[in-house]
């Protein structure tokens, strides 16, 4: 019996050919000041990679050219490097923090950090997999219609995300909490019910 690693499962979900990896050696953009990142982060981005396209309207295609700094933007005194850019007409991209390897969401319009995403790229990959399989992967006939059912599905997804990275869903200023909350709008929530959707989750 063959043991399947999380990396294998992640690659199987998108297909190896659709995963974008970091070049094994610094690119011209990195030669002057390559980012100092945890060894496990570099290994994951080089050997496994992240999907070119995702359900959260992001593309990790920038990895092909190496990690390029966000000009003039620091967080907690550390440089930030572009990890994923938003699709056209969307605002939020992902960046990775130097030394810590933590992942943040930034706005391409005001070049400011808005949300914490994940503790590292390995947990980001696990979160993308959970979100894809448990939330966006729902067949049409399974999309929740009633308020309680929507709340149940949202709670299940947030619990699964918290299991791999507790810090990623700890409050409503976290990217994944916000993402699940916003996508509940697609299920038709509005007004008071929308405000109540995440009570107790």
Can you give the residue range of the structural domain that contains 90?
A: 6-120
Residues 87 and 179 in one domain: no
Residues 56 and 90 in one domain: yes
User: 120, 144, 168: which is the final residue of a domain?
Assistant: 120
Residues 41 and 133 in one domain: no
Q: What is the mean pLDDT of residues 38-57?
A: 87
User: 99, 120, 141: which is the final residue of a domain?
Assistant: 120
In sign, the C-alpha dihedral spanning 181, 182, 186, 189 is positive
Cα→Cα distances 46→20, 32, 72, 121, 149, Å: 9, 20, 26, 11, 40
Phi, psi dihedrals of residue 135, rounded to the nearest 5°: -115, -60
Q: Is residue 162 included in any domain, yes or no?
A: yes
Average pLDDT, the chain: 77
Residue-level pLDDT at 192: 41
Residues 42 and 134 in one domain: no
Euclidean distance between CA atoms 26 and 22, whole angstroms: 9
Query: Is it the case that residue 136 has pLDDT exceeding 60?
Result: no
198 pLDDT band (50/70/90 cuts)? Answer: very low
Nearest to residue 142, comparing CAs of 181, 177, 187? 187
Residues 101 and 134 in one domain: no
Residue-level pLDDT at 72: 77
Query: Is it the case that residue 186 has pLDDT exceeding 60?
Result: no
Q: What is the mean pLDDT of residues 52-65?
A: 84
Higher per-residue confidence, 83 vs 3: 83
Q: Is residue 201 included in any domain, yes or no?
A: no
2 pLDDT band (50/70/90 cuts)? Answer: low
User: 95, 120, 145: which is the final residue of a domain?
Assistant: 120
Q: What is the mean pLDDT of residues 123-129?
A: 91
Q: Is residue 1 included in any domain, yes or no?
A: no
Residues 11 and 103 in one domain: yes
Query: Is it the case that residue 37 has pLDDT exceeding 80?
Result: yes
pTM equals: 0.81
Residue-level pLDDT at 199: 45
Count the domains in the chain.
Answer: 2
Q: Is residue 138 included in any domain, yes or no?
A: yes
Residue-level pLDDT at 4: 60
Q: Is residue 134 included in any domain, yes or no?
A: yes
CA angle 116, 120, 122 (to 5 degrees): 130
């Amino acid at each position: 019996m063959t043991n399947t690693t999380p990396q294998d499962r992640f690659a199987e979900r998108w297909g190896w050919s659709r995963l974008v990896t970091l070049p094994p050696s610094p690119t011209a953009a990195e030669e002057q000041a390559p980012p100092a990142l945890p060894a496990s982060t570099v290994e994951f981005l080089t050997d496994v990679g992240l999907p070119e396209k995702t359900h959260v309207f992001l593309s990790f295609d920038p990895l092909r050219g190496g990690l390029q700094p966000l000009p003039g933007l620091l967080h907690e005194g550390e440089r930030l490097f572009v990890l994923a850019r938003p699709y056209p007409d969307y605002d939020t991209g992902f960046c990775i923090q130097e030394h810590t390897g933590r992942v943040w969401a930034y706005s391409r319009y005001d070049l400011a950090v808005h949300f914490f995403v994940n503790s590292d790229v390995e947990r980001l990959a696990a979160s993308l997999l959970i979100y894809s399989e448990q939330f966006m992967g729902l067949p049409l006939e399974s999309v929740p219609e009633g308020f309680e059912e929507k709340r149940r599905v949202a709670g299940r997804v947030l619990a699964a995300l918290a299991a791999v990275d507790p810090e990623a869903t700890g409050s409503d200023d976290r990217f994944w909490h916000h993402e699940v909350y916003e996508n509940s709008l697609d299920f038709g929530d509005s007004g008071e019910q929308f405000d109540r959707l995440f009570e107790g989750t």
